[in-house]
Amino acid sequence: MGILNNEVELITDKCMEEIEDDLEIELAEFQSEGWTINDKETAMRIDYVLHMLEEKIAEDEAIAKSQKEVIQAKIDKLEEDKSRYDDWLERSTKGYRNRIADLKLHLHLYHQRLIEAEELENVKRVSNGNKPLKISKSIKLTYRDLVSKQQQPEIIKNDELLKDWIVDNYSSYISYAELAALLERKEAEEVCQVSVRELEELISKNNSEYVKRDVKVNWGEFKKTLQLGTKNIKETLESGEEVVVGTKLIYCDENGVEIPNVTLIDQGVKFDWKLNK
């Protein structure tokens, strides 16, 4: 028969009296080598020990929670104060920042006009056989230097068409001599077929339908071999005459051949300043 309810209460009361005196002593009993639970009374003692340990944890968690709430309240107050100062700073400096932005724009426009004037002057000097002047890419002021730098163009490319063009123009070809040598070697080995790995030309024709060749342009490496250039933009008049209406940026290879399927969008010159230390 199982233990009756009144017996359970008696055992629980006894456990409480024994365990509350010294929980560590009770725990030591259940940590000795080879200990085991052989009856319900011991199981109930273990249950109560677990309950006491859980209560100890709950007590410490409650203490930690209450302390963290106090700290969090202080943090919230500091964040609120910080937010007020941030708002004040934004309002206090907004007019100054707007004025700085306006003055900065005027400085950059002045710098731009100066460079344009120098470039026009150099066209005249070169046409007259004189040495061109150095362009004022930077202007030294007391508290800052006005600087200008040609920005990299935005690149818009058609990867698929570019890949096809590179494959057609940069791929190596297998000579008849190499092909004949391969076939002769196969014949000498009495092999009546050529591995697709030995002859790349056959790969596209003989690949398994489960093999996918994902050929992509290694743009980073290919771009290193290219040079920026310009090309005239022409329009044909009704009279049939072609006239130059502008120029565009292009990439050329080492032979001066324009790289098709790549569009370069000129980003212009970036004007900025750097503070002097």
Is 16 among the domain residues?
yes
User: Distances in Å between the alpha carbon of 58 and those of 64, 66, 156, 225, 274?
Assistant: 10, 12, 62, 69, 59
Distance CA 123, CA 220 (A): 36
Q: Give the model's pLDDT for residue 258.
A: 93
Q: Give the model's pLDDT for residue 55.
A: 85
pLDDT digits (tens, 9 = 90+) for 14-51: 555 554 556 676 677 777 777 787 878 877 887 888 88
Q: Give the model's pLDDT for residue 204.
A: 55
Is 184 among the domain residues?
no
Is 64 among the domain residues?
yes
Task: Say if CB 216 and CB 158 are below 8 A apart.
Answer: no
Degrees to nearest 5, angle at CA 211 with 206 and 215: 95
Running DSSP on this structure, what letter comes out for residue 32? S
Per-10-residue mean pLDDT of the chain, 277 residues long, equals 53 53 67 78 81 86 90 90 90 92 94 94 93 93 92 90 80 68 79 66 50 75 92 88 89 92 90 74
Running DSSP on this structure, what letter comes out for residue 39? S
Q: Give the model's pLDDT for residue 225.
A: 93
Number of domains in the chain: 1
Q: Give the model's pLDDT for residue 46.
A: 79
Range of the domain at 46: 5-74
Q: Give the model's pLDDT for residue 22.
A: 62
Name the percent of the chain lying above pLDDT 70: 80
Is 35 among the domain residues?
yes
CB under 8 A, 24+ apart: contacts of 194-201:
199/174, 200/174, 201/174
Q: Give the model's pLDDT for residue 228.
A: 92
Q: Give the model's pLDDT for residue 137.
A: 93
Q: Give the model's pLDDT for residue 3.
A: 47
Q: Give the model's pLDDT for residue 102.
A: 93
